[in-house]
Chains A and B, each alone.
Chain A
Amino acid sequence: MKNPAIPRLAACALIAAVGLLPAFADGGSILIKNGTVLTVTKGVIAKGDVLVVDGIIKQVGGDIAAPPGVRVVDATGRFVIPGLIDSHTHVALAGTNEGSEAITPEADVGAVINADDTSILTALSGGVTMVHTMHGSANPIGGPNVVLKMKWGRPSEELVVGEALPTLKFALGENVKQASRTVQPGQTQRYPATRMGANAIIRREFARARNYMEQWDRFRKAAAVKNPPGSLVPPRKDLRLEVLAEVLRGERVARVHSYQATETVEFMELAKEFGFKIQCFEHIWEGYKIADELAAAGIGISVFADSWAYKMEAAEGIAYMAGYCAKRGVLVSINSDSGERIRRLFNDAAKTMKYGGLTEDEALRLVTINPAVQLGVDRIVGSLEVGKQGDIAVFSEHPLSAYTRCDLTVIEGEVYFDRDEIVKVREAAAAKAAAPRAEGGAR
């Protein structure tokens, strides 16, 4: 997250006009015909069909016949791609930061999902079907994040993608040391106030977590004997340290908000010291300086396409970052970090072709299969392949064209966004509003 102080933008006017959009139940089966199918991993099919049955892609190819009762969408002249995946955002949550203390791994965003957030609709309108929605960047160790499908209208628990890799948010730099915060009289400056402090407090917490794990090991060993002594006392269960223990055991990976090269490398050293896995650095505007180190360590990055220099630590960002790092072998994704930018991830991906020289295929990967790999869900989503879940977006033109727009968004074979339907609803609402009061209108 760029800055915890900037409130997320409110839902856009389109949603306000549409009102409540029900999820159209198609029973999880749909056939999309005659589109240009960009599978991402298996090439392009010029005039292709994609058949989803019961939520799973059954066939990708040409001339697929619709099984009885399955809805058919004609995609002639349009582009069929896997649903886009946002590797880093903060939508569909009731609260983003537990900013009161520096170390809060117990504060799990999975506990505060808000399926009523209209950002889900915004995401769908941009072809996004899955997001990694994250704790904010106010703390050196924030909280666990959660991966959601954008199933608008479904209960919150049905949005959660259980197959995804458990992650924990870390953050370094200006947000953590509260560089832009003015301490009011009577308030205390939260520790840490420097980058070295951030590194130190994270090290300290992992040392505590190690100690905690050892305590439990000793206790379990002592309790396992035949007649354990009556004076045996178990350690106190600590939710904060439990999460860090998961990281140390390799059951949960680190997602680290980081901008500058130096502190990033220092954090990589810290991870090596404690033996935990960094899955991804977030935003990392100076990533291009350490692209080879990142590639060698197998650490991905999730970044903006442009719009750097919004604060001091982002001053050395360059437009070529994503493309350059991708070419050096780093696993790159483009993220939104926002409930508004989320609807034009495809535009942002396209920028890497102009700045960075990526091919269409490479650019599209940044918002499909690459984030899927980062989230540990590439076996089930991220490309149009038989056996994967039927998460699909249909675009009016090539998704990397500046003139394209998303017409249809499908999750597990169910249509969650249909631009034609929305236009109809909106026109009806507008007509009603314009009608005289006597005829049931608002005028």
Chain B
Amino acid sequence: MKPIPRVSRSVVLPVLSLILTLVLAAGLTAGAARLAGDVGPTYAIRNCRIVPVVGPPVEKGAIVVRDGLIESLGPVDRIKIPGDAEIVEAEGLVAYPGLISAFSNLFLEQPAQPGGGQAPEPEFPVPAQAEAAEDRFPPGPGLFVLDQIKPKKAAVESFHKAGFATVLVAPARGIFEGRSVVLNLNGEALGPMVVRNGAALHINFTTERGGYPSSLMGTIAHIRQSFIDADYYAARRAQYAKSPAGLKRPAYDARLEALAPYVKDREPVVFQCNNQEDIKRALKIAAEFKLNAVLAGANEAWRVADVLKKNPVPLLVALDFRPPATSQYATQGEELRKSAEAEIYPANAAALTREGIAFALVSGANVDGASVLKAVRTAIKAGLAEDAALRALTLQPARALGLDRTLGSLEPGKIANIVLVKGGIFDEGGRVVRIFVDGIPFEYAEVSK
């Protein structure tokens, strides 16, 4: 990763002398302006093909980036290049919106549970304390993953090189896993990356280690009881706030306090769906408590297309083609499992497109950018149209996250997350040359003319 800060750019950026001169000149003006607390740097990316995702591609276009936002874009002969702009000569490159993974485990210290299955049922049920204590559950719903992550340069670089500018980082432990954060991968410091903290509450159909619940059915009961309790808690607090006279003060409960917004204000809840049945389980719980549900994982979504058509919810489809442990494709021998992984599960996304079901493609537990892109190619080979794949990594995730006013396409006024690629972004030999995140350029290869 080569971030190119304005002040030291001349040292970092080994480019042709002509460009260097231009850059320095632009840098001086912009730098001065920045000191005044006015506007950030300005870039003019020109002579590239632009794929804005909304609207048709521009064959020879220019994009003006100012202070982290897209100021203008269009055919190069119609865009006025501002005098203070650093010119980024991009002939032969294609500009796409920075890709978005609306569900990732990037930067997590603890690797996520290997996907695809539930925790196995312990052979001997391990007993918890005999009587249910009030505080027997970990304080999951109140946790912010932002407090637990450390950005890693290598991870940012790996995702940049795959075209990703934005990720949702989801927590990955427990049933009520905590709240995710949306980050723009714009450097190494965490604070400036944050697009939205507490983006969603994440729930996984797993079990608690060494205690209750130790089975999936216990987990489902636990999730339901928790939402019942949160609803009850919110109602008691509201009742008390309205007329406290003659009422005993409802006891404060940090866990229920954290859960209440999800039943009361319909803040988004992401369910990790490890197989087709989990999708139905999540939808059932969402209907019972009127949750604003988002389904993640869902690599068996094609098997429940009818159900998903009847219950349209945002889908964050993992690029994970391993049949889940419960699947009939996983339990009838290695030969079938392998062929299912190679041929059946990669066609999930293509099948959803055919059924007219909107979805985003997500990196999930895979923290290696190159293999995420490879998985996209696998899905494309299995029938997913390239433009559908691109939408599923740009506009669709932006919509699923409620961030489509600022992210997901190349449009004036949106955040300048732009990836410049030599070749098509999903091509086998496609190579990310530069990526702008929040208007900050990162260079991964020299722009060859």
Contact = CB atoms under 8 A, between A and B. Distances in A.
A49 interface: no
Interface string B120-163: 01111111111010000000000000000000000000000000
A233 B239 contact: yes
Given A107-B213, A108-B217, A239-B228, A116 B127 contact: no
Given A94-B326, A231-B246, A100 B126 contact: yes
A240 B307 CA distance: 29
A100 B211 contact: yes
B129 A107 contact: no
A19 interface: yes
Given A100-B211, A102-B130, A114-B277, A94 B118 contact: yes
Interface in B189-236: 208, 211-218, 220-221, 224-225, 228-229, 232, 236
B337 to A, nearest CB: 11
Residue among A94, A114, A230 having the largest count of chain B Cβ atoms under 10 Å = A94
A8 B205 CA distance: 22
B210 to A, nearest CB: 8
Contacts of B281: 111
A174 to B, nearest CB: 14
Given A11-B331, A111-B220, A116-B327, A157 B280 contact: yes
B328 interface: yes
A270 B427 CA distance: 71
A15 interface: yes
Contact of B218 (A104, A156, A229, A238): A104
A265 B84 CA distance: 92
B221 A113 contact: no
Contact of A98 (B130, B214, B225, B243): B214
B332 A16 contact: yes
A441 interface: no
User: How large, as a class, is the contact surface on chain B?
Assistant: 35 or more
User: How large, as a class, is the contact surface on chain A?
Assistant: 35 or more
A111 B277 CA distance: 9
Contacts of B275: 116
Interface stretch (A30-38, A187-195, A307-315, A406-414): A187-195
B126 to A, nearest CB: 7
A193 to B, nearest CB: 10
A107 B212 CA distance: 11
Given A155-B304, A231-B246, A138 B327 contact: no
Interface in A152-193: 155-157, 178, 181, 187-191
B127 A99 contact: yes
Nearest to A115: B277
Given A5-B124, A100-B126, A94 B216 contact: yes
Nearest to A98: B218
A95 to B, nearest CB: 4
Interface string B316-333: 000000000011110111
Contacts of A143: 217
Nearest to B222: A106
A181 B124 contact: yes
A181 B123 CA distance: 11
A440 interface: no
Given A7-B123, A94-B326, A155-B304, A113 B212 contact: no
B215 A97 contact: yes
Nearest to A229: B246
Given A157-B280, A188-B129, A233 B124 contact: no
Interface in A115-154: 115-118, 135, 138, 143
B130 A108 contact: no
B336 interface: yes
Interface string B241-253: 0110111000000
A99 B224 CA distance: 19
A11 B332 contact: yes
A143 B304 CA distance: 27
B331 A101 contact: no
Given A156-B280, A236-B232, A239-B224, A112 B130 contact: no
Contact of A99 (B125, B129, B232): B125
Contacts of A19: 332, 336
B221 A107 contact: yes
B229 A98 contact: no
B249 to A, nearest CB: 12
A100 B213 contact: yes
Contacts of A231: 243, 245-247
Given A181-B124, A188-B129, A230-B243, A100 B328 contact: no
B277 A188 contact: no
Contacts of B211: 100
Given A94-B118, A100-B126, A236-B229, A20 B218 contact: no
B277 A101 contact: no
B277 A113 contact: yes
B331 A187 contact: no
Contacts of B130: 101-102, 188, 190-191
B232 A101 contact: no
B326 to A, nearest CB: 5
A113 B275 CA distance: 12
Nearest to A433: B335
Contact of A114 (B126, B128, B236, B326): B326
A114 B218 CA distance: 15
Given A11-B332, A16-B332, A100 B125 contact: yes
Contact of B331 (A104, A116, A138, A233): A116
A97 B216 CA distance: 9
Nearest to B233: A236
Given A190-B127, A229-B246, 18 more contacts: A7-B123, A19-B332, A19-B336, A94-B118, A97-B121, A97-B214, A98-B212, A98-B218, A99-B126, A100-B208, A101-B130, A108-B220, A108-B221, A111-B216, A156-B277, A190-B130, A230-B246, A239-B228
Give me the 4 closest cross-chain CB pairs, A-B, nearest first. Answer: A99-B125, A190-B127, A98-B218, A106-B221
23 contacts: A4-B125, A15-B332, A20-B336, A94-B118, A94-B277, A94-B326, A97-B214, A98-B212, A98-B215, A98-B217, A100-B213, A100-B218, A107-B217, A111-B217, A112-B215, A112-B220, A112-B277, A116-B275, A187-B126, A188-B129, A230-B239, A233-B236, A236-B229
Interface of A: 4-5, 7, 10-11, 15-16, 19-20, 94-102, 104, 106-109, 111-118, 135, 138, 143, 155-157, 178, 181, 187-191, 229-231, 233-234, 236-240
